[in-house]
């Protein structure tokens, strides 16, 4: 068996309002940052994976990126898995390096979603995800689709709006500890409760941000790890789960494909939820993370919100989660949004998370989901 | 940017469904091989891979599985309606649809509420919607 693939370099750009940025400039800055972090040169990169962008659209974004920076890899492709894309890239890159097709695969994403398009255009673009005949005619948008999930979840579990708010506050607290975060001003449970409703029961502060920003990471063959600049966490296991694209076709509104994706990842890594030191789990809305924490098995159904209120998901707690501040407060820049989670997990495992550092973090759980809890990819990273 | 709400554009998979809507009929599919009920219309049974599907008329009665009150409309066409009710409803025959709940105060909607299907005209194409049963 080939050795475990490793993540040898990570980088995020400044996130939030990044004036004069473009899709390609953010991709480039993130990519060169990750290449430098790994101690590599662009010419060492022999695989490239990109995602998609809505601010500037390219039919073949990954080819356009390679053209823009001047690299001609052995393997180059685009992936479209919404918020799961970054984790899917890691899984695909793992297959490439373990199969011997590539040694160093650059995975990169970035968009100027905040300054590159008007807010109305961004909101309208996010309404186009619905089924063209059976959802879009009803005026659904992404917050409304997640609100349908949230309403049902609250109904079935007896969880409260305060449980949702606890997660919003948690992420803001974490973002305030990160120099690159978009939103760092402190918020309270009352602030979340008093924020305007976007789509009942979700309030403004239950929703992720719209940010400019880029991120990149490099997956390298395990055989190269001894040559690399830094200690490199290994990808110990990964898995996916897919149940639907459109929320009208979801088999359940309270249990999703994260159950399958995480079970596969844990099984391959040979570890369980109780072994995890630090987690980075997709948080497009507060409800997203609440449901995923429970579906994945970190908590029983309806109990993750109480755990957040008790401080279990922050420093000193049982399993610090999204220590960078997540999509809710660090930032959300399209496919780069889910990549920030991977960047943070690697920094935690390397001991590079500065004041956010979780002591003795050796095993991390990373999870991305795309669509309306539609496409899921989970991953276990560890120091070996 | 248009101020008109989206009008469904039927394709070969869905033409029969949308034609029936224009006669105030709600169609759904079952599989002739395994009996599975499905929505939205497609050419394959998602349960057994069969291409042998049959159309049925729904009694147009259902129950709200979940709902939300949309405050921030996704496009100018929906701004005048906001706040409005968006729901997933389970039809009695065993399939789920997305609809708006019409003729219902936003604060009166509940999970478990009984609804019936009504039809709203959009530029000559009727679309199924829900309204409270009583």
- pLDDT, tens digit, for every residue of A264-274? 999 999 999 99
The token duo for A335 is 């496919």
Residues of B in contact with A138 (CB under 8 A): 86, 98-100
Residues present in chain B in total: 134
Residues of B in contact with A135 (CB under 8 A): 98
Token pair 């120091």 is found at: A383
* pTM listed for this prediction: 0.97
Q: How far apart are the first and last CA of chain A?
A: 16
Q: Collect all residues with Cβ–Cβ distance below 8 Å to A185 and sequence separation of at least 6.
A: A172, A176
- pLDDT, tens digit, for every residue of A230-258? 789 999 999 999 999 999 999 999 999 99
Contact A198/B71 with Cβ under 8 angstroms? yes
Res. A1: pLDDT tops 70? no
User: Rounded CA gap, B130 and A281, in Å?
Assistant: 36
Write down the number of H helices and E strands in chain B.
2, 8
Residues of A in contact with B67 (CB under 8 A): 148, 151
Residues of B in contact with A199 (CB under 8 A): 68-72, 86
Q: What is the average per-residue pLDDT within A20-39?
A: 97
Residues of B in contact with A152 (CB under 8 A): 65-66, 111
Q: Is A67 helix (H, G, I), strand (E, B) or coil?
A: helix
Compute how many other C-beta atoms are within 10 angstroms of the C-beta atom of residue A58: 17
Res. A127: pLDDT tops 90? no
Res. A207: pLDDT tops 60? yes
Q: How far apart are the first and last CA of chain B?
A: 38
**Interface touch B66/A127, C-beta < 8 Å:** no
Token pair 């039919």 is found at: A59
Domain map of chain B by residue range? 15-132
Nearest CA in chain B to A151: B66
Nearest CA in chain B to A128: B74
User: Rounded CA gap, A363 and A131, in Å?
Assistant: 39
Distances (CA, A) of A216 to B93, B115, B128: 48, 49, 45
Contact A149/A247 with Cβ under 8 angstroms? yes
Res. A33: pLDDT tops 70? yes
For A170-229, what is the HEC assignment?
HHHHHHCCCCCCCCCCCCCHHHHHHCCEEECCEEHHHECCCCEEEEEEEEECHHHHHHCC
pLDDT (0 to 100) of residue A123: 67
Compute how many other C-beta atoms are within 10 angstroms of the C-beta atom of residue A354: 10
Q: Which segments of chain B does DSSP mark as H helices, in order?
A: 15-21, 76-79
User: Rounded CA gap, A87 and A46, in Å?
Assistant: 19
Q: Is B125 on the interface with A (CB under 8 A)?
A: no
Topology of the domain covering B15-132: OB fold (Dihydrolipoamide Acetyltransferase, E2P) (2.40.50)
User: Rounded CA gap, A92 and A94, in Å?
Assistant: 5
**Interface touch A127/B71, C-beta < 8 Å:** no
**Interface touch A148/B87, C-beta < 8 Å:** yes
Write down the number of H helices and E strands in chain A.
11, 11
User: Rounded CA gap, A27 and A318, in Å?
Assistant: 35
Residues of A in contact with B130 (CB under 8 A): none
Token pair 């990964």 is found at: A238
Residues of B in contact with A143 (CB under 8 A): 72
Helix (H) or strand (E) holding A63: helix A61-69
Contact A259/A269 with Cβ under 8 angstroms? no
Residue B105 to chain A, least CA–CA distance (Å): 14
Residues of A in contact with B37 (CB under 8 A): none
- pLDDT, tens digit, for every residue of A160-202? 999 999 999 999 999 999 999 999 999 999 999 999 999 999 9
User: Rounded CA gap, A271 and A261, in Å?
Assistant: 14
Q: Is A1 helix (H, G, I), strand (E, B) or coil?
A: coil
Q: Is A12 helix (H, G, I), strand (E, B) or coil?
A: strand
Residue B134 to chain A, least CA–CA distance (Å): 22
Residue from A50, A378, A72, A91 nearest A242 by CA: A378
**Interface touch A201/B68, C-beta < 8 Å:** yes
Nearest CA in chain A to B129: A138
Q: Is B7 on the interface with A (CB under 8 A)?
A: yes
Band of residue B1 on the pLDDT scale cut at 50, 70, 90: very low
Determine the longest span between alpha carbons in chain A, in angstroms. Answer: 56
User: Rounded CA gap, A273 and A304, in Å?
Assistant: 14
User: Rounded CA gap, A216 and A76, in Å?
Assistant: 15
pLDDT (0 to 100) of residue B2: 52
User: Rounded CA gap, A10 and B27, in Å?
Assistant: 52
Residue from B83, B107, B98 nearest B39 by CA: B98
Contact B70/B101 with Cβ under 8 angstroms? no
Res. A51: pLDDT tops 70? yes
- pLDDT, tens digit, for every residue of B12-70? 999 999 999 999 999 999 999 999 999 999 999 999 999 999 999 999 999 999 999 99
Q: Is A276 helix (H, G, I), strand (E, B) or coil?
A: coil
Q: Is B73 on the interface with A (CB under 8 A)?
A: yes
Q: Collect all residues with Cβ–Cβ distance below 8 Å to B13 and sequence separation of at least 6.
A: B41, B42, B43
Predicted ipTM? Answer: 0.97
Q: Is B111 on the interface with A (CB under 8 A)?
A: yes
Q: Which of A124, A125, A131, A137 is best to mutate for the B interface (most B CBs within 10 A)? A: A137
Average pLDDT, chain B: 96
pLDDT (0 to 100) of residue A269: 98
Q: What domains can you pick out in chain A, each with its CATH number?
A: 6-117+211-227 (3.40.47.10), 139-208+236-382 (3.40.47.10)
**Interface touch B111/A147, C-beta < 8 Å:** no
Res. A302: pLDDT tops 60? yes
Helix (H) or strand (E) holding B51: none
Residue from A204, A197, A174, A196 nearest A186 by CA: A174
Residues of A engaging B, defined by a Cβ cutoff of 8 Å: 123-124, 126-127, 131-141, 143-144, 147-152, 155, 196-202, 247-249, 253
B117 φ, ψ (degrees, to nearest 5): -85, 130
- pLDDT, tens digit, for every residue of A329-347? 999 999 999 999 999 999 9
Token pair 């999930």 is found at: A149
- pLDDT, tens digit, for every residue of A79-122? 999 999 999 999 999 999 999 999 999 999 999 999 998 777 76
Helix (H) or strand (E) holding B126: strand B125-132
**Interface touch A148/B74, C-beta < 8 Å:** no
Residues present in chain A in total: 384
Q: What is the average per-residue pLDDT within A4-32?
A: 97
pLDDT (0 to 100) of residue B134: 78
**Interface touch B6/A152, C-beta < 8 Å:** no
Q: Is A383 helix (H, G, I), strand (E, B) or coil?
A: coil
Percent of chain A with pLDDT over 70: 98
Q: Is B44 on the interface with A (CB under 8 A)?
A: no
A336 φ, ψ (degrees, to nearest 5): -70, -25
**Interface touch B127/A200, C-beta < 8 Å:** no
pLDDT (0 to 100) of residue A109: 98
Q: Collect all residues with Cβ–Cβ distance below 8 Å to B110 and sequence separation of at least 6.
A: B64, B67
């Amino acid at each position: 068996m080939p050795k475990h693939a490793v993540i040898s370099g990570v980088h995020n750009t400044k996130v939030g309002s990044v004036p004069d940025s473009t899709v390609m400039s953010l991709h480039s800055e993130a990519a060169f940052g990750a290449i430098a972090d790994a101690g590599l040169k662009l010419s060492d990169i022999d695989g490239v994976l990109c995602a998609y962008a809505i601010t500037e659209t390219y039919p073949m974004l990954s080819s356009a990126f390679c053209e823009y920076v001047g690299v001609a890899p052995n393997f180059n492709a685009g992936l479209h898995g919404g918020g799961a894309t970054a984790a899917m890239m890691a899984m695909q890159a793992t297959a490439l390096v373990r199969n011997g097709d590539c040694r160093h695969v650059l995975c990169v994403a970035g968009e100027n979603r905040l300054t590159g398009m008007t807010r109305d255009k961004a909101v309208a673009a996010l309404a186009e995800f619905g089924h063209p005949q059976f959802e879009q005619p009803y005026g659904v948008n992404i917050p409304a689709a997640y609100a349908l999930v949230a309403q049902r979840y609250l109904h079935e579990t007896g969880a409260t709006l305060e449980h949702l708010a606890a997660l919003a506050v948690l992420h803001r607290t974490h973002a305030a500890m990160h120099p690159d975060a978009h939103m760092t001003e402190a918020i309270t449970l009352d602030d979340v409760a008093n924020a305007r409703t976007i789509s009942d029961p979700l309030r403004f502060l239950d929703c992720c941000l719209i940010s400019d920003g880029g991120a990149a990471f490099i997956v390298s063959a395990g055989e190269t790890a001894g040559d690399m600049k830094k200690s490199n966490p290994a990808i110990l296991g990964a898995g996916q789960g897919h149940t639907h694209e459109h929320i009208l076709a979801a088999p359940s509104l309270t249990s999703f494909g994260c159950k399958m994706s995480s079970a596969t990842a844990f099984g391959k890594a040979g570890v369980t939820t109780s072994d995890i030191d630090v987690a980075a789990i997709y948080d497009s809305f507060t409800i997203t993370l609440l449901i995923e924490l429970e579906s994945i098995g970190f908590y029983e159904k309806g109990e993750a919100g109480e755990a957040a209120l008790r401080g279990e998901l922050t420093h000193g707690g049982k399993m610090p989660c999204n220590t960078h501040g997540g999509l809710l407060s660090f930032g959300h820049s399209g496919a780069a949004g889910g990549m920030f989670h991977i960047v943070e997990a690697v920094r935690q495992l390397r001991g590079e998370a500065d004041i956010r550092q979780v002591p003795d973090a050796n095993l991390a759980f990373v999870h991305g989901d795309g669509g309306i809890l539609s496409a899921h990819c989970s991953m276990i990273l560890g120091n070996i | 940017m248009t101020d008109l709400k989206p009008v469904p554009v039927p394709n070969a998979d869905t033409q029969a469904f949308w034609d029936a809507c224009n006669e105030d009929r709600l169609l759904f599919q079952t599989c002739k091989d395994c009996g599975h009920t499905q929505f939205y219309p497609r050419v394959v049974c998602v349960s057994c891979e069969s291409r042998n599907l049959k159309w049925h008329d729904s009694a147009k009665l259902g129950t709200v599985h979940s709902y939300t009150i949309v405050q921030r409309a996704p496009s100018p066409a929906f701004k005048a309606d906001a706040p409005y009710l968006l729901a997933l409803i389970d039809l009695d025959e065993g399939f789920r649809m997305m609809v708006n709940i019409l003729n219902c105060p936003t604060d009166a909607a509940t999970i478990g509420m009984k609804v019936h299907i009504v039809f709203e005209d959009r530029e000559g194409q009727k679309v199924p919607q829900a309204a409270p049963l009583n």
